Chains A and B, each alone.
Chain A
Amino acid sequence: MKKRHLGFVLLALSPGAAQAAVKPGLEGAQELFRQSHWEEARGHLRSQWGAIPEKDRPAATFLIGRSYVREAEFYRALRRFGSEVGLAYLEELEAAKANRSVVWIPLFKGLYQIEVDRNVEAERLLLAAAQSPLPPEWKATARLRRALALQRLGRASEAAAALQDQSPEGRFCRLLSSGMAEPQSGPPREGRKDKLLLGAILYRAGRATEAEALLSGVNLDLPDVEENADPKKVLRFHDPLLGIAWERICWERAVVGLKPLAVGGAGIEKGLAAYYLGLSLFNLGALGEAATFLKEASGSSLSPELDAAARLLLAALAWNGRSPTAPELAPLWENTRAEPEAVLLWAELKHGDVSKVEPFVSKLEPRLRDLLAASPERPPGSLVGKWGLARLRQGDDPAALLAALSEHRDKSNKNKLEWNDPLLLVALAATSYRDHEYPQSLETLFELAKTFPGLRPLQWNLQGIYAARQRAGGEARISQ
Chain B
Amino acid sequence: MKCAMVAGVVAGVLALSASGIAGGRDDGFPDGGKLVYGEYGRPATLDPITTNDMVGLRLTELLFNGLVSFSPKNEVVPDLAEKWSVSPDNRVYTFTLRSDVKWHSKAGAGDRTVTADDVVGTLDVIRQPKTLTPLKAAYELVAEARKLDGQTLEITLKRPIVNALGRLSFKVVPTFALKNPDFLSRDDPFVQNPVGSGPFQLSQLTDEGDVVMEANPSYYKGRPHLDRVILKPFADKNVLTQALLFNSADMVVEVNSRDIAQIQGDKRFNLYPYNALSYAFLGHNYRNPHLAKKEVRQAITFATNRQEMLDSFYSGRGALISGPFAPGSWAYNLDVKPIPFNPARAKELLTQAGYTKTGSDGYLLTDEGKPLQFTLKIPIEKENETVKRVALAFQNYLKQVGIKINLEFREWQAWKQDVFVDHDFDIVIANWAFDDSADISTLFHSGETGAWRNNFVGYSNPEIDGMIVEAKTTLDREKQRTINQRLHALLSDEQPYTFLWTLTNYAAIHKKVRHVELHPFKLFTFADTWYIAKKDQ
> Hey, which bits of chain A sit against chain B, CB under 8 A?
93, 96, 98-99, 230, 232-235, 410-416, 436-440, 442-443, 446-447, 449, 456, 459-460, 463-464, 466-468, 470-480
Contact = CB atoms under 8 A, between A and B. Distances in A.
27 contacts: A232-B479, A233-B476, A410-B264, A412-B264, A436-B73, A436-B74, A440-B328, A442-B329, A443-B276, A449-B334, A463-B329, A463-B332, A464-B330, A464-B478, A466-B329, A471-B166, A473-B170, A474-B163, A474-B439, A474-B441, A476-B432, A476-B439, A477-B52, A477-B54, A478-B430, A480-B387, A480-B430
A93 B273 CA distance: 29
B304 interface: no
A439 B445 CA distance: 25
A443 B273 CA distance: 11
B73 A467 contact: no
Nearest to B41: A480
Residue among B55, B277, B317, B327 facing the most chain A CB atoms (10 A cut-off): B327
B436 A470 contact: yes
Contact of B328 (A439, A460, A480): A439
A475 B434 contact: yes
B521 A472 contact: yes
Given A233-B482, A463-B330, A480-B412, 4 more contacts: A412-B504, A442-B327, A474-B435, A479-B40
A234 B485 CA distance: 10
Contact of A416 (B316, B434, B479): B316
B125 interface: no
Nearest to A462: B330
A478 B54 contact: yes
B74 A475 contact: no
B260 interface: yes
Contacts of A467: 330-331, 477-478, 480-481
Interface string B160-176: 00010111111000000
A414 to B, nearest CB: 5
Contact of A446 (B319, B435, B443): B319
B329 A439 contact: yes
Contacts of A93: 478
A467 B436 CA distance: 9
B277 A439 contact: yes
B260 A232 contact: no
Contacts of B166: 471-474
B493 interface: no
A440 B326 CA distance: 11
B431 A480 contact: yes
Given A98-B479, A412-B264, A474-B138, A479 B53 contact: yes
Nearest to B58: A477
A415 B504 CA distance: 9
A213 to B, nearest CB: 28
Contacts of A475: 57, 138, 434-435, 437, 439, 521
Contacts of B433: 476-479
B454 interface: yes
B317 A470 contact: no
B372 interface: no
A413 B316 contact: yes
B430 A479 contact: yes
Interface residues of B, number: 80
A480 B256 CA distance: 12
A456 B333 CA distance: 11
Given A440-B276, A468-B477, A473 B167 contact: yes
A230 B476 CA distance: 12
Contacts of B52: 477-478
A439 B315 CA distance: 22
A70 to B, nearest CB: 23
Contacts of A442: 327-330, 332
Nearest to B68: A473
Nearest to A469: B74
Contacts of B436: 438-439, 466, 470-472
A443 B54 contact: no
Contacts of B504: 411-415
Closest 4 CB pairs of A and B: A439-B328, A474-B439, A412-B260, A470-B436
Contacts of B483: 232
B292 interface: no
Contacts of B431: 478-480
Residue among B277, B440, B475, B483 facing the most chain A CB atoms (10 A cut-off): B277
Given A232-B482, A478-B432, A479-B433, A443 B328 contact: yes
Contacts of B412: 480
B305 interface: no
Contacts of B496: none
A479 B260 CA distance: 19
Interface in B404-438: 412, 416, 430-438
Interface in B59-86: 70, 73-76
Contacts of A436: 73-74
B145 interface: no
Given A439-B328, A472-B163, A412 B257 contact: yes
Given A414-B273, A443-B328, A471 B163 contact: yes
Contact of A99 (B163, B438, B478): B478
B249 interface: no
A49 to B, nearest CB: 31
A473 B369 CA distance: 49
Contacts of A230: 479
A470 B437 contact: yes
A438 B166 CA distance: 18
A471 B165 contact: yes
B190 interface: no
B394 to A, nearest CB: 16
Given A233-B476, A479-B433, A459 B334 contact: yes
B199 interface: no
B317 A466 contact: no
B506 interface: yes
B522 to A, nearest CB: 8
A446 to B, nearest CB: 4
Given A232-B470, A411-B260, A414-B273, A472 B437 contact: yes
Contact of B506 (A411, A437, A470): A411
B343 interface: no
B260 A474 contact: no
B534 to A, nearest CB: 24
A402 B414 CA distance: 41
A99 B465 CA distance: 26
A208 to B, nearest CB: 32
B380 interface: yes
Contacts of B40: 479-480
Contacts of B437: 470, 472-475
B435 A438 contact: no
A319 to B, nearest CB: 42
A479 B279 CA distance: 10
B42 to A, nearest CB: 11
Contacts of B316: 413, 416
Nearest to A231: B482
Nearest to A93: B478
B433 to A, nearest CB: 5
A476 B481 contact: no
A96 B476 contact: yes
B81 to A, nearest CB: 14
B379 interface: yes
B13 interface: no
Contacts of B442: 476
A474 B319 contact: no
A478 to B, nearest CB: 5
Interface string B109-141: 000000000000000000000000010001000
Contacts of B38: none
Contacts of B167: 473-474
B500 to A, nearest CB: 14
Contacts of A234: 478, 482
A125 B315 CA distance: 50
